Amino acid sequence: MIQFVNIMKNIIKSLLLCALSALFFSSCQKELTTDLTAVTDITWEATSGGAIITYTAPKNNNLQYIRADYVNDLGNAVFNVCSVYDRKIEVSGLMDETKSYPITLTSIDKNGASSPVATVMVTPSRPYINIVKDNISFSPIMGGLYIT
């Protein structure tokens, strides 16, 4: 009986030690820090319903990609990513050619850490759907419809 009690004490001590170890290691979180800088020399060119943004990426061997975040006209948060080897990123879904849209550019490294954000305001040119809508006409013909 005494031997059983000693075994149970050892099991309880082991479980307690494992629980304390798990608690200690779970409280140690790795904080993502990076030495990436924000993208620079940002310019943009309007496209129909969007823009092509060119930039200079930071010089860093850990750079994985550049991410552009924005909200389209449907109210959806959208992002596009671009390879480290490219210098431009395209955004689309911007339907109001009278409005300026904020686009944030972020550098992401191989560990998932992000750089400070660079923001650019872009104004798209007239979307194709609006050009078609303004120039389309329908005329009835015998048994159908004439579209010009």
The three-point CA angle 90-105-32 to 5° equals: 135
Residues 6+ apart with CB under 8 A from 81: 65, 66, 67, 68, 89
Query: What are the DSSP calls for 122-133, one per residue?
Result: E--B--HHHHHH
Contact 121, 100 (CB under 8 A): yes
pLDDT exceeds 80 at position 11: no
pLDDT exceeds 70 at position 34: no
Mean pLDDT of the chain: 82
pLDDT band at 140 (very low <50, low <70, confident <90, very high): confident
C-alpha closest to that of 65 among 111, 30, 31: 111
62-71 b/e with 16+ CB inside 10 Å = b? Answer: ebbbbbbbbe
What's the average model confidence in pLDDT over 3-26?
Answer: 65
Backbone dihedral region of 13: left (phi > 0), alpha (psi from -120 to 50 degrees) or beta? alpha
Q: What is the pTM of this model?
A: 0.68
What's the average model confidence in pLDDT over 35-54?
Answer: 90
pLDDT exceeds 60 at position 30: no
Return d(Cα 98, Cα 95) in angstroms, integer.
9
| Exposure of 76 in the CB half-sphere (CA atoms within 13 A) | 7
Least confident of 23-27, 101-105, 108-112: 23-27
pLDDT (0 to 100) of residue 23: 59
Best mean pLDDT range from 21-25, 40-44, 57-61, 139-143: 40-44
pLDDT band at 7 (very low <50, low <70, confident <90, very high): confident
